[in-house]
Amino acid sequence: MERTSQKKTDLLILSFFFSFVLLVAASRNSVAAENPASQPLKKIAIAYSGISTSQAPAWVAYEQGLFKKYGLDVQLIFIEAGSRTVQTLISGDVAAAQVAGTSVIQSSLQGSGVVMIGGFLNTMDYKLIVARDITRPDQLKGKTVAVSRVGSSSDFATRYALEKYGLIPDKDVSILQIGSQPARFSAMETGKIHGVMIAVPLTAKAKKMGFNTLADLQMLGLEYQHTGLAVTRNLIKTQPDLVRNILRGFVEAIHYMKTHRKESLTILAKYLKTDDADALEEAYESIVQALIPEKPYPTLKGIDIILRELGAKDANARSAKPEQFVDLTFIKELDSSGYIDRLYKSSAVAKAAPSRAEPLPAPEIAKEKAAPTETKVKAVTAEERAKPVAKQIPASTEKPAATNVTAKTTRSAAQEYTVKAGDTLSKLAERFYNSMSKWERIYEANKDTLKNPNYIYIGQKLMIPSDDQAS
């Protein structure tokens, strides 16, 4: 009887022991899942495809150790041009790539299995910089402009702009492949080319050197999948946790950029290789704060626009759907779980507490409730009314001041206005009449010189009818 009782006691103790061991193991696994950095770091390579501010999320994540926070020992690799970057991704030499949507779409149409899981720049941030003696689009006829590579985002943007201004790429205007933005700008400086698509901060340098800005691509009012984060479907299938942690590093990098101005400017200066304070400020304000979204969803509308353009020559693009080129699983997961909101909420709390305040207050950031969409609608032509039209993307967070208007008469009469970067007819109508819907009044007043209401160019003179005339 005593032996039976002792056996029961021993079995009970043994059972409690094994339960305790299992409980500790489960607890450790749970902690490891929530904190990838508690595990040995996984070595991977991540590529970025350009030297421009839109590439900043990768730079910041690397420099601030945010990848390590999520269990990743990252080697950051620069591969010039999006098409080459995607090829490296397909080969498996890199786990993820920060690259333009055009390269991903063209590759995926050929069955590569590459998809975008994040969108860091969902519009075109390029400006068309031209020689000092060029002030109108038609003056580019017979001239040469530069892009990085055929099929790259700079190539798409250049061809798109030329066509919208009535010029035929490769016929009216020669297109030369040169390479990165610094290389293209160097060719502009030496007079080898007459025009180039570049982004901030090189745009500030171009202005100081006396080059003309013919068009700000944001003036075309497009949602466009520019820079984003791409991986292969195979990686998503075989290592979803790795994909999840990569995206976490990028999302936190965006948060860091928006809330740590001084440190972010230092990183931009390092990778953009400039100490021009004005150029860096322009890069930070116009791209980091104004255009890179807190919740980096890819833009399906922007992908649809690329497909339309590619569809002119590619039947596969004409039948494709934007959803084929993205996997929103991971960004939706981070969004719906409250992960992204908590990042910015914790920053707001820290900012409010005097004992933990940053030396330089972080700029205010507008919260986004869903995938980034724009709020202002651009003017469209009659032939485009039947098509879905992307909403207007603000080129600046500043409200135009009266001093920005070049006028020959008072506001109560017709005025002559000189088009500036970021202008559209709908934005001008809002400025002068407090109603975007009155853009057609401006168009009617300038029909003789304005062939298309969507595509005005910087430096163009427009007559603005008086308030009474526009009513």
Indicate whether 85 pLDDT > 80.
Answer: yes
Do 288 and 433 lie in one domain? The reply is no
Do 283 and 325 lie in one domain? The reply is yes
Q: Look at residues 185, 203, 220 and tell me which one is the last residue of a structural domain.
A: 220
- pLDDT at position 455 is 66
Number of domains in the chain: 4
DSSP per residue, 379-442: P--GGGTTS--PEEPPS-SSPPPGGG---SS-TTS-EEEE--TT--HHHHHHHHHS-GGGHHHH
- pLDDT at position 349 is 58
338 CB-near residues (< 8 Å, 6+ apart): none
If one compares 88 and 397, the residue with the highest pLDDT of the two is 88
Do 204 and 62 lie in one domain? The reply is no
> In sequence order, which ranges of 191-299 are alpha helices (DSSP H)?
202-208, 233-238, 240-259, 261-272, 277-283
Mean residue pLDDT of the chain comes to: 78
If one compares 143 and 402, the residue with the highest pLDDT of the two is 143
Do 257 and 329 lie in one domain? The reply is yes
If one compares 59 and 293, the residue with the highest pLDDT of the two is 59
Residue 363 lies in a domain: no
pLDDT band at 402 (very low <50, low <70, confident <90, very high): very low
Q: Look at residues 220, 237, 263 and tell me which one is the last residue of a structural domain.
A: 220
- What pLDDT digit, counting tens, does each position of 164-197 carry? 888 999 999 999 999 888 899 999 999 999 999 8
Token digits of residue 60: 């910041």
- pLDDT at position 271 is 93
Q: Look at residues 202, 220, 238 and tell me which one is the last residue of a structural domain.
A: 220
- pLDDT at position 348 is 62
Residue 369 lies in a domain: no
**Least reliable range by pLDDT among 237-251, 271-285, 339-353:** 339-353
231 CB-near residues (< 8 Å, 6+ apart): 89, 95, 96, 97, 114, 115, 117, 243, 246
E strand spans, 101-242: 114-119, 127-130, 144-147, 174-177, 195-198, 212-216, 227-232
pLDDT band at 153 (very low <50, low <70, confident <90, very high): confident
Do 101 and 238 lie in one domain? The reply is yes
- pLDDT at position 123 is 82
Do 327 and 417 lie in one domain? The reply is no
Do 131 and 152 lie in one domain? The reply is yes
Q: Can you tell me the mean pLDDT for 423-436?
A: 82
> In sequence order, which ranges of 293-328 are alpha helices (DSSP H)?
300-310, 315-319
Indicate whether 57 pLDDT > 80.
Answer: yes
**Least reliable range by pLDDT among 300-304, 413-417, 448-452:** 448-452
Question: CATH number, domain at 275?
Answer: 3.40.190.10
Determine the Cα–Cα distance for residues 240 and 283; give it in Å rounded to an integer.
33
If one compares 350 and 277, the residue with the highest pLDDT of the two is 277
Determine the Cα–Cα distance for residues 336 and 180; give it in Å rounded to an integer.
37
**Least reliable range by pLDDT among 15-29, 40-54, 107-121, 214-228:** 15-29
Residue 172 lies in a domain: yes
- pLDDT at position 11 is 56
Residue 395 lies in a domain: no
Helix, strand or coil for residue 216? Answer: strand
Determine the Cα–Cα distance for residues 441 and 218; give it in Å rounded to an integer.
22
Residue 189 lies in a domain: yes
Q: Can you tell me the mean pLDDT for 445-453?
A: 76
Residue 173 lies in a domain: yes
pLDDT band at 30 (very low <50, low <70, confident <90, very high): very low
Determine the Cα–Cα distance for residues 157 and 145; give it in Å rounded to an integer.
12
**Beta strands 376-377 and 195-198: pairing type?**
unpaired
CA 366, 400, 395, 190 dihedral sign is negative
pLDDT band at 386 (very low <50, low <70, confident <90, very high): very low
Indicate whether 405 pLDDT > 50.
Answer: no
pLDDT band at 351 (very low <50, low <70, confident <90, very high): low
Do 50 and 141 lie in one domain? The reply is no
If one compares 27 and 98, the residue with the highest pLDDT of the two is 98
- pLDDT at position 218 is 65
If one compares 391 and 238, the residue with the highest pLDDT of the two is 238
- pLDDT at position 333 is 95
Nearest one of 119, 129, 176 to 150, comparing CA atoms: 176
370 CB-near residues (< 8 Å, 6+ apart): 295, 297, 335
What domain range is 234 assigned to? 42-123+225-356
Do 117 and 145 lie in one domain? The reply is no
Nearest one of 373, 200, 193, 198 to 300, comparing CA atoms: 373
Q: Note if the bond before 359 is cis, omega within 30 degrees.
A: no
Residue 366 lies in a domain: no
Indicate whether 27 pLDDT > 50.
Answer: no
Determine the Cα–Cα distance for residues 257 and 375; give it in Å rounded to an integer.
24
If one compares 408 and 243, the residue with the highest pLDDT of the two is 243
Q: In this structure, are residues 178 and 197 in contact, taking their beta carbons and an 8 Å threshold?
A: no
Indicate whether 362 pLDDT > 80.
Answer: no
Question: CATH number, domain at 448?
Answer: 3.10.350.10
Backbone angle region of 92, left / alpha / beta, with phi > 0 → left and psi within -120 to 50 → alpha: left
If one compares 19 and 288, the residue with the highest pLDDT of the two is 288
- pLDDT at position 235 is 96
Token digits of residue 295: 């919740």
Torsion angles phi and psi, residue 76, rounded to 5: -90, 125
Do 234 and 342 lie in one domain? The reply is yes
Do 331 and 428 lie in one domain? The reply is no
The number of CA neighbours under 13 Å toward the Cβ of 224 is 24
Residue 75 lies in a domain: yes
Q: Can you tell me the mean pLDDT for 96-111?
A: 92
Do 167 and 143 lie in one domain? The reply is yes
Specify which of 159-168, 207-216, 330-339 reaches the highest per-range mean pLDDT.
330-339
Nearest one of 456, 305, 470 to 374, comparing CA atoms: 305
- pLDDT at position 17 is 55
pLDDT band at 364 (very low <50, low <70, confident <90, very high): very low
